[in-house]
Amino acid sequence: MGGPCVNFLRFVIQFQLILLALAQKQTLRTNSGNLAIFAFGDSFVDPGNNNYIRTISKANFPPYGIDFENQIPTGRFTNGRLVTDYAASYAGIKDYVPPYLDRNLSMEELLTGVSFASAGSGYDPLTPTLTGGVISMPKQIDHFREYKSRIETQIGKERTEALIKNAVYVISAGSNDFLFNYFWVSGIRRLSYSLPRYYHLLMQQLQHFLQDLLDLGAGNIVMMGLPPLGCFPLVITLKSNPINGFLERQCVTRISDAAQGFNQIAKQKCKEMERVDSQIYYVSLYESYMDIFQDPKKFGFDKADTSCCGTGILEVSIFCNRRSRLCPNVSDHVFFDSLHPTERTYSLLFEALAPTIDLILQGKQ
């Protein structure tokens, strides 16, 4: 057996199999092309919305972004990418989630997702004012509403509804409420609110926020819990005894505990508010942070209690600038400035988020 005719037939079949494989690959790609990612909240997920508003909470100058593509200081409060950028890459959507307020975004960028987050924002309505007039959570929802009608005029109502339903929504907020509002810099809320009452205030706002997102049609909400804030370099500095605080740098347990207390109630709230057709996943990053703080060397970090920019104990935003001294190796620091992780830390933290992204993607197959 095996004349030239059979060989030719075999060739044709093989060729078609290859085409089929390519076509399947193509279908997979277009499927993930239908998936969009949105972010709401604070600096942990803000890729530069604050560049477009009047505020001092900015990071669109060096050394921010020194490890970003082309070393561009985009407005991200780190040397490179954020957790949400890693999430978008991982889900096969795109490598960077751009800021919504960039009015020059292409339709393709808009359709695959944007961030509405604003560095300095929080659930407490007072927080965005205290941190320099940044974008409040209700205002971020307004922008999302505007976004929705903008794309509706382009792709129609039905496709818009599907896109909104299928998309992944990553939320990160609350840190600034505790740092800038409750414990310091103002400490205003602590004068009139016990911690349980403050939790209650934040939960009301969180509830409104989630309600709005669900009402607008969001199908997969991923809420990231708070980190152990007491271990952030600036917190350690400001809450330490001024005499030995610069030498004996220890996490402020009271502040980390307050964050963890918030996490427990927020997790419960997420569960309560789930709907049959809309999931709300609570993802804890607290343990991942703690693992790193407790044994930084294990993760290849040299320093966890001071940051890379400047003296490493104070500088953030405009105080971390082109005149600041920079550590020789950014990657061996947990923190880039005194309140924000380095890109490498974000990539490690993303591992806590990945299983939830997997779960969402599986649900779409």
Binding residues (CB under 6 A) for ligand NAG: these are 104, 300, 329, 331-332
Catalytic residue among 43, 121, 307, 338: 43
CA pair distance 362, 358, nearest whole angstrom: 6
Q: Which is closer to ligand NAG, CB of 316 or CB of 327?
A: 327
Residue reference for tokens 């709005």: 212
> What DSSP designation does 326 have?
B
Least separation in angstroms between CB 303 and ligand NAG:
10
Q: What's the number of CA atoms in the CB half-sphere (13 Å) around residue 175?
A: 26
Residue nearest to ligand NAG (CB): 300
Q: Which is closer to ligand NAG, CB of 240 or CB of 331?
A: 331
Q: Which is closer to ligand NAG, CB of 73 or CB of 225?
A: 73
Gap between the terminal Cα atoms of the chain: 43
Q: Is the peptide bond before 73 cis (omega within 30 degrees of 0)?
A: no
Catalytic residue among 172, 284, 337, 338: 337
Least separation in angstroms between CB 344 and ligand NAG:
7
Q: Which is closer to ligand NAG, CB of 98 or CB of 128?
A: 98
Active-site residue, 124 included: no
Active-site residue, 305 included: no
CA pair distance 166, 61, nearest whole angstrom: 35
Least separation in angstroms between CB 329 and ligand NAG:
4
Residue reference for tokens 């974000």: 346
Q: Which of 89, 9, 4, 75 is nearest to 45 (CA)?
A: 75
Active-site residue, 337 included: yes
H runs (alpha helix) in the chain: 4-33, 83-90, 107-112, 127-130, 137-155, 157-166, 175-176, 188-192, 195-215, 233-239, 253-273, 286-294, 343-363
Q: Which is closer to ligand NAG, CB of 257 or CB of 332?
A: 332
The catalytic residues are 43, 337, 340
